[in-house]
């Protein structure tokens, strides 16, 4: 463990609450909120090995020195109209959440079996492939949190994004299992689990993700605006889109950054990408959440090394073409700057004959892109993977471009 949560004896746990499930109303939310209120400071909250029904939003922030032990399952209700009306806004795009958890020196742990069950199939069917549905909640938002450890939890069928870490610093999240795959019925919906990201960071600094296993229909782990000093290791992704930096640059004129992101020792099975960076174009078309563009800033010092790939479509990817649904063009207009990428030392297989597709903006060409030691073969025929598509990549290091990158936003 990287740091210890042992409290000095004088601050020994003062409150212990074992929450009872089985409220006659069928909703255990009030019992849970009351345990958090009792144990707000120097507390230890225990969810025993049973199922708790959560039918209302929870805002349990401002905790101090609290252990939260999940031995059972939290199961969120499927009252879609309730959640659409009440989920808590996170202050970014139109995103919202079913649960806000936060404070200083929190230890939230599930021993590898404590489970957050979002009943996502209901949402996957209801949303019918819509990406950003106003009010559709993330399972949990870690908010205003410092010096904390979250570990050994399972997330099954999250309603939308599984987790968001925001306005937080010095948080480690370790041994997390996420499976947002669709039921047979939900699978009839095209892109049934779109937007079921594993985790997103926004306005977050010094965050560590170790040993995550993520099966999702979207970004596995994503850094969004003002994510800095993020370390990730020993993660495994099934399907989904791998490590996603962005989309960023959506808010006209706003300065946003992604800086010092490191990922090592990661396994990818049938993912769309290994690592990628996505920015909006420099044109403003529509407004957030679904429109925007024209933001400024940079993505800098992004190191992705020692990855093992199995049937990955496009290992390394950059696009600066993101725009309002269906709007094409403007790929050379973004002033958002992408620099100092270190991507390499990989092994394994790709679906196609491409190591990278790098579409950088003419208005702010990419610099310091170093792509090295990619020992990859094409899955279906075993030949070496050799293609590098580029636009506006200045002085590529470790590779030569073999063609022009397409103007697609991916």
Ligand X SMILES: *[C@@H]1O[C@H](CO)[C@@H](O)[C@H](O)[C@H]1NC(C)=O
- Cβ neighbour number for residue 188 with a 10 Å cutoff: 11
Per-residue tokens: 145: 């949190």
Rounded CA separation 67/197 (Å): 26
Q: Is 264 in the site for ligand X (CB under 6 A)?
A: yes
* Residue from 197, 200, 215, 259 in contact with ligand X (CB under 6 A): 259
Per-residue DSSP letters for 161-203? SSEEEEEEEEEEEEEEEEE-PPPTTGGGSTTTTTT--SEEEEE
Nearest CA among 37, 109, 114 for reference residue 72: 114
Contacts of ligand X in 278-297 (CB under 6 A): none
Catalytically annotated residue among 121, 197, 200, 218: 218
Q: Is 219 in the site for ligand X (CB under 6 A)?
A: no
**Candidates 154-162, 277-285, 358-366, 396-404 — which segment interacts with ligand X by CB under 6 A?**
396-404
Minimum CB–partner distance for residue 391 and ligand X (Å)? 18
CA distances from 244 to 33, 72, 360 (A): 34, 31, 16
Stretch that binds ligand X, among 35-43, 229-237, 274-282, 326-334 (CB under 6 A): 229-237
Cα distance between residue 55 and residue 169, in whole Å: 30
Residue pair 110/72 in contact (Cβ under 8 Å)? The answer is no
Which stretch, 17-25, 222-230, 268-276, 361-369, contacts ligand X (CB under 6 A)?
A: 222-230
- Kindly state whether residue 234 participates in binding ligand X, applying the rule CB under 6 A: yes
As a whole number of Å, the end-to-end CA separation of the chain is: 38
Using CB under 6 A as the binding rule, whether residue 62 contacts ligand X is answered as yes
Check binding of 400 to ligand X (CB under 6 A). Answer: yes
CB of 206 to ligand X, least distance (A): 4
Contacting ligand X within 363-382 (CB under 6 A): 375, 378, 380-381
104 annotated active-site: no
d(CA 27, CA 33): 12
> Could you say whether residue 146 binds ligand X (CB under 6 A)?
no
Tell me: does residue 208 bind ligand X (CB under 6 A). Answer: yes
Binding of residue 81 to ligand X (CB under 6 A):
yes
The yes or no reply on residue 399 touching ligand X (CB under 6 A) is yes
By CB under 6 A, tell whether 33 contacts ligand X.
no
Tell me which of 76, 100, 108, 109 binds ligand X, using CB under 6 A. Answer: 100
The nearer residue to ligand X, 286 or 397, going by C-beta atoms, is: 397
Q: Estimate to the nearest angstrom the gap between the alpha carbon of 381 and the chain centroid.
A: 33
CB 370 within 8 A of CB 398: yes
Going along 197-295, which residue ranges are E strands?
A: 199-215, 221-223, 227-233, 236-238, 243-248, 255-269, 273-280
Q: How far is the CB of 211 from ligand X (least distance, A)?
A: 8
Chosen residue from 1, 3, 12, 326 binding ligand X by CB under 6 A: 3
Torsion of CA 82, 101, 287, 337, to 10 degrees: -160
Q: How far apart are CA 354 and CA 350, in angstroms?
A: 8
When asked if residue 85 is in the footprint of ligand X (CB under 6 A), the reply is: yes
Q: Label each residue of 294-319 as H, E or C.
A: CCEEEEEEEEEEEEEEEEECEEEEEE
Tell me the number of residues near ligand X by CB under 6 A: 48
Binding site for ligand X (CB under 6 A): 2-3, 49, 59, 61-62, 81-82, 85, 88-89, 100, 113, 128-129, 170-172, 190, 206, 208, 226, 228-229, 233-234, 254-257, 259-260, 264-265, 301, 306, 308, 347, 352-353, 375, 378, 380-381, 383, 398-400
Tell me which residues are annotated as active site.
218
């Amino acid at each position: 463990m990287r740091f210890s949560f042992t409290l000095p004896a004088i601050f020994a746990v003062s409150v212990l609450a074992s929450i009872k499930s089985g409220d006659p109303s069928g909703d255990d939310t009030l019992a849970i909120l009351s345990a958090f209120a009792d144990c707000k400071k120097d507390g230890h909250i225990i969810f025993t090995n049973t199922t708790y029904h959560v039918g209302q939003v929870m805002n349990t922030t401002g905790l101090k020195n609290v252990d939260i032990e999940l031995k059972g399952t939290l199961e969120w209700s499927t009252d879609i109209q309730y959640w659409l009306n009440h989920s808590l806004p996170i202050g970014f795009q139109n995103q919202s959440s079913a649960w806000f958890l936060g404070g200083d020196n929190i230890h939230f742990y599930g021993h590898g079996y404590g489970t957050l069950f979002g009943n996502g199939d209901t949402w996957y069917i209801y949303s019918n492939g819509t990406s950003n549905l106003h009010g559709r909640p993330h399972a949990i938002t870690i908010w205003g949190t410092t010096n904390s450890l979250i570990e050994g939890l399972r997330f099954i069928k999250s309603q939308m994004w599984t987790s968001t870490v925001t306005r937080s610093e010095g948080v480690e999240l370790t041994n997390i299992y996420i499976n947002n795959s669709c039921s047979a019925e939900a699978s009839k919906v095209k892109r049934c689990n779109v937007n079921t990201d594993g985790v997103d960071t926004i306005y977050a600094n010094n965050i560590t993700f170790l040993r995550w296993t993520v099966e999702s229909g979207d970004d596995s782990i994503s850094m969004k605006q003002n994510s800095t000093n993020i370390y990730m290791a020993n993660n495994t992704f099934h399907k989904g889109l791998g490590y996603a930096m962005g989309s960023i640059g959506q808010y006209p004129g706003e300065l946003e950054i992604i800086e010092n992101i490191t990922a090592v020792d990661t396994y990818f099975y049938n993912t769309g990408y290994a690592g990628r960076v996505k920015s909006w174009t420099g044109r403003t078309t529509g407004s957030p959440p679904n429109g925007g563009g024209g933001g400024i800033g940079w993505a800098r010092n992004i190191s992705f090394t020692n990855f093992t790939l199995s049937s990955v479509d496009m290992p390394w990817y950059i696009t600066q073409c993101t725009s309002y649904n269906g709007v094409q063009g403007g790929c050379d207009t973004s002033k958002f700057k992408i620099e100092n990428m270190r991507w390499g030392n990989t092994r394994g297989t790709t679906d196609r004959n491409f190591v990278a597709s790098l579409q950088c903006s003419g208005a702010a060409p990419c610099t310091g892109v170093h792509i090295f030691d990619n020992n990859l073969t094409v899955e279906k025929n075993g030949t070496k993977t050799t293609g590098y598509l580029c636009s506006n990549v200045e002085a590529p290091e470790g590779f030569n471009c073999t063609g022009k990158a397409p103007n697609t936003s991916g």
